[in-house]
Amino acid sequence: MKRFWVLFFMFWPLLALYVCWVAPAYDWWFPGAAASPLGQRIDDLFYLILIITTVVFIGTQAALGYVLWTGAQRSDEGSEERAWFSHGSHNLEVIWTIVPAGVLLFIALYQMDVWAEYRIKTSFPEEVRNDPIAEVTARQFEWRIRYPGVDAEGNPLPLMPDPQPTDLYTVNDLHVPSGRPVMINLRTDDVQHSFFLPELRVKQDAVPGLVIPVWFEATKSGEYALLCAELCGWGHYKMKARLVAESETSWQTWLQELKAEQEFDGVVETSEEE
Amino acid sequence: MSTITPTADSLAGHGDHAHGHHDIGFIRKYVFSTDHKIIGIQFLFTTLLMLMFGGFLALGVRWQLAFPWETMPIFGQFFAAQGGQVSPEFYTMLFTMHATVMIFLVIIPVLAGAFGNFLIPLMIGADDMAFPVLNMLSYWFMWPAIMCFGASFFLNEGFGPNAGPAAGWTSYPLLSALVEAAPGSGTAQFWWLMGVTLVGVSSMMGSVNYMTTIINMRAPGMTLFRMPLTIWAMFITAILQAFALPVLTAAGFMLMADRLLGTCFFIPAGIVVNNAAPTVGGGQPLLWQHLFWFYSHPAVYIMLLPAMGMVSDMLACMSRKPIFGYKPMVYSLAAIAGLGFIVWGHHMFTSGMNPALGMTFMVSTIMIALPSAVKVFNWIGTMWGGRLVFNTVMLNSVGFVSMFIVGGLSGIFMAAVPVDIYIHDTYFIVAHFHYVLFGATLFGVFAGITFWFPKMFGRMMNEPIGQLHFLLTFIGFNGTFFPMHLLGIAGMPRRYADPYLHPYLEHLLPMNQFMTISAILMGFAQFLLLGNLAYSIFFGPKCGRNPWEANGLEWVAPSPPGHGNFETVPVCYRGPYEYSAPGRDEDFWLQTEPPGPRPETPGQAAAASS
Ligand code: HEM
Ligand SMILES: [Cu+2]
Ligand SMILES: [Cu+2]
């Protein structure tokens, strides 16, 4: 029975490793490769940590298995061997404090750039730093998007903090140009929400009373999921929206169409609601 | 260093003993008892009851995730109004109350309340806690808290019983601050806040008592560095509790003031929810997050450190070996507690707080993995070269170590801020904290119950049933929670009543079904534990004072110890871990055994051999 338990404790880490190994093949893994440059760096960091932690995981579980197996032998019927009377080892303590400390410090320092680039405004890409492309306002339970619109010649206007008559609106449908960084201003009308683009690895809470700039870049044109990641009430799960990344020209055409549509019936709300 | 404890009568002179040796009556003895052992056992049974209840709530959550919008078998009839389905309102309530019950009514009170109470006086050689009446009150304040949480299920004007508090266990404003924000944000949220405040009162009473008792009432010879790690852990936990808890209580009162008096500590101006009048404002919801996590991060250690201490003691005993690196173990406990105060912001990386601040929180958080790692190495070191006994106690303790490794390692992913951007508020987080809170703490608790049960009731628990319980729980646990890492990596957010609404999550349904089935298996396995407890209390084989041949002072007292615990004041000659010392016939060495050529006093001999 003792041997059974040792094997039992060794079996599950192996199973865990196996499951992680096959997980990508079953799609139990990231929703596709990161669709943004920053997302790729996040994934790289994830894999780096995954390698380090896997080594530690295997090492510690194997050590556990070893001490269990030998410890089981010592208590076998007929074995006279007593436990090793030891209160520890100063050298080992020093080693297993310093080495992990070094590894952890490395992890801590290594990631700072990515974070700075993502969140610290002075490290945002120059071209978007002061030029939000839209204002995204979360509310129970939808996303409202306000674009600054275009002037008579079709040139994009700057986004103003307050709504303007020229603004264009959509609900649950965020269109941005792909292949270049864009920035949105994130707000909420009511409780807290969180702006989550899983494929782009972007997440930012929308906090009542704050306007938070968020930048991202969709490398490829396409449609991506946009959902809410902070509990906002019973309908939290259904704050389903999409991010449409498209080429610069088709994005501009889309804006023109939106403008035309909006001016046609003269109502501020557009009709893309579900 | 230590003081001789006053006699039982002078300490507990609150009327109990006014009649000399008269029987004090059933009520005073078993209900409103001031005896730390009875209080500990009361806490134990109460928290086990709550564990079952919290488990049911969790199964409700799991049901919905596996079979969304399908009528729940059997339990569906309790909410027939909705056709037995889990509505989204009901779902938010389920996970809110599941977490609330598990954290505030199970894990915290089972460690500090049940084991802290039962073990502290026994392990330091005192006859009771420093303040027995306060101790009794700390238990009895649990009940109003339980009532308040219970009331929150039902007292929710206009919304009926299926819309209890629904702002999550973290209760972030404005969801929790504006009455109109959600069906559960009304009266239900108020009762929830009252409940949290009351459990806080209960914990505070306990922690004052533990600190005082450990500082002042140690037996002669029980120096600080002869204390078992359980006691060190309880001591450090009590300090954590005492410093962190007032912040939560204050925050709770502020939130109540926001709700009842319109103070707007957490509410900014101009917010409109559900067409109510705009808020007056001036406040900041982030303030709540800071205050809440200033308590609740240390609290996750309040939910772990005592189990770490207990497991250390049990591993040493079942390996028949001294603790590997006793002092590093103490220092790492202290380091975890100290660092624990400066890492709260890691719950707020995506919250919009100053990103530079996020960076400092990141560094401190990553560093807290260090003392955690040192502890793991020392546990393995403790078993290394041991003569291991594979019983229920050992299995659960090894389970603790094995699971804690996973929880500690997943913490590093989340502590890396850029990675946390992605995995924050996904199932990866849920996986992480279940590995530490269930995988580690709860297995530690199962081990602790089995280990100290003989001292509590004078009888042993059934070994085969105990092992079967461990086997099924361990399998069910990993089946339920390991896949959550993958769900998180796949981007499945937590707290979603229906994740499959989003096409990129649709394919995760079968995996969720597998997890739910594992959870149900695990739930059933708990009846083995309950059955084992109930049976063993009355019919388990009787045991002597020291069935495990352990060293601690508690094993010198009779099983179960009478009022006042020890027949004579125990004197402590060494640390609690001198197992397998060379030159001795036995492989254990009671802390009370006088050194030198062994002229045993009759009491000692009796204690050692019975
Ligand atoms: C190795 C050390 C640990 C590290 C580095 C670590 C790191 C973290 C981080 C960064 C988060 C926040 C993640 C997020 O929400 O985005 C977190 C959440 C959490 N951790 Fe840990 N952790 C560690 C150990 C523990 C332990 C020992 C416990 C409990 C005994 C614990 C319990 C929790 C809980 C309950 C949450 C989630 C709270 C919630 O959002 O509801 N952690 N941890
Ligand atoms: Cu939400
Ligand atoms: Cu934390």
Tens of pLDDT, residue by residue over B36-60, are: 999 999 999 999 999 999 999 999 9
Examine residue A269 and state whether it is found in any structural domain, yes or no.
no
Q: Which of the four pLDDT bands, split at 50, 70 and 90, describes residue A79? A: confident
> What pLDDT score was predicted for residue B82?
66
Nearest atom within ligand 1 for CA of residue B350: 16
Nearest to B290, CA basis, from B168, B172, B167: B172
**For B145-190, what is each residue's pLDDT tens digit?**
999 999 888 776 655 555 688 899 999 998 999 988 888 888 889 9
**For B413-430, what is each residue's pLDDT tens digit?**
999 999 999 999 999 999
Domain that holds residue A43: 1-74+94-119
Examine residue A101 and state whether it is found in any structural domain, yes or no.
yes
Q: Are residues A141 and A164 in the same domain?
A: yes
As a whole number, the mean pLDDT across chain A is 92
Q: Are residues A108 and A8 in the same domain?
A: yes
Q: Are residues A259 and A140 in the same domain?
A: yes
> What pLDDT score was predicted for residue B266?
96
Token pair 């060379």 is at which residue?
A: B582
Token pair 């801590």 is at which residue?
A: A108
Exposure of B341 in the CB half-sphere (CA atoms within 13 A): 14
B589 lines ligand 1 (CB under 6 A): no
Nearest to B93, CA basis, from B206, B189, B203, B27: B189
Q: Are residues A107 and A199 in the same domain?
A: no
> What pLDDT score was predicted for residue A127?
87
Q: Are residues A112 and A173 in the same domain?
A: no
Residues B561, B572: Cα–Cα separation, whole Å? 18
Report DSSP state, residue B168. T
Examine residue A239 and state whether it is found in any structural domain, yes or no.
yes
| Residue ranges of domains in chain B, CATH in brackets | 34-555 (1.20.210.10)
Q: Are residues A131 and A103 in the same domain?
A: no
Q: Widest CA span of chain A, in angstroms?
A: 96
B419·A45 Cβ contact <8 A: yes
Total domains, chain A? 2
Q: Are residues A26 and A148 in the same domain?
A: no
Give first-to-last CA distance, chain B, whole Å. 31
Examine residue A9 and state whether it is found in any structural domain, yes or no.
yes
Tell me what the mean pLDDT of segment B112-125 comes to: 96
Examine residue A15 and state whether it is found in any structural domain, yes or no.
yes
Question: Which range has the worst mean pLDDT, A84-98, B293-307, B591-605?
Answer: B591-605
Q: Are residues A132 and A259 in the same domain?
A: yes
B98 lines ligand 1 (CB under 6 A): no
Q: Are residues A104 and A226 in the same domain?
A: no
Q: Are residues A133 and A113 in the same domain?
A: no
> What pLDDT score was predicted for residue A58?
97
Q: Are residues A186 and A165 in the same domain?
A: yes
**CA A199 to chain CA centroid, nearest Å:** 8
Output the domain CATH number for residue A154.
2.60.40.420
Tell me what the mean pLDDT of segment B100-112 comes to: 96
Which residues in chain A have their CB less than 8 angstroms from residue B321's CB?
Answer: 83-86
Kindly tell me if the per-residue pLDDT of A269 is higher than 60. Answer: no
> What pLDDT score was predicted for residue B162?
58
Last residue of a domain, one of A86, A119, A152: A119
Q: Which of the four pLDDT bands, split at 50, 70 and 90, describes residue A66? A: very high
Examine residue A268 and state whether it is found in any structural domain, yes or no.
no
Tell me what the mean pLDDT of segment B120-138 comes to: 95
Q: Smallest Cβ distance to B405: which of A27, A61, A72? A: A61
Higher per-residue pLDDT: B467 or A156:
B467
> What pLDDT score was predicted for residue B186?
84
Contact B177, B102 (CB under 8 A): no
Query: Residue B597 burial (CB < 10 Å; 0-12/13-18/19+)?
Result: exposed
Which residues in chain B have their CB less than 8 angstroms from residue A9's CB?
Answer: 398-399, 402
- Residue B82 sits at the chain A interface (C-beta within 8 Å): no
Nearest to B422, CA basis, from A239, A42, A194: A42
Last residue of a domain, one of A119, A136, A154: A119
Q: What one-letter code names the amino acid at A111?
A: Q
Q: Take residue A17 and report the two structure tokens written for it.
A: 């490793």
Higher per-residue pLDDT: A153 or A199:
A199
Q: Which of the four pLDDT bands, split at 50, 70 and 90, describes residue B8? A: very low
Nearest to A133, CA basis, from A170, A173, A165, A181: A181
Please report the number of interchain residue pairs, chain A to chain B, with beta-carbon separation below 8 angstroms. Answer: 324
Q: Take residue B100 and report the two structure tokens written for it.
A: 């609330």
Q: Which of the four pLDDT bands, split at 50, 70 and 90, describes residue B119? A: very high
> What pLDDT score was predicted for residue B469?
97
Examine residue A111 and state whether it is found in any structural domain, yes or no.
yes
Q: Which of the four pLDDT bands, split at 50, 70 and 90, describes residue B19? A: very low
Nearest to B135, CA basis, from B259, B4, B36, B7: B36
> What pLDDT score was predicted for residue A265?
60
Residues B237, B304: Cα–Cα separation, whole Å? 9
Examine residue A84 and state whether it is found in any structural domain, yes or no.
no
Residues B480, B295: Cα–Cα separation, whole Å? 28
Question: Which range has the worst mean pLDDT, A5-19, B150-164, B450-464?
Answer: B150-164
Q: Are residues A1 and A64 in the same domain?
A: yes
B420 lines ligand 1 (CB under 6 A): yes
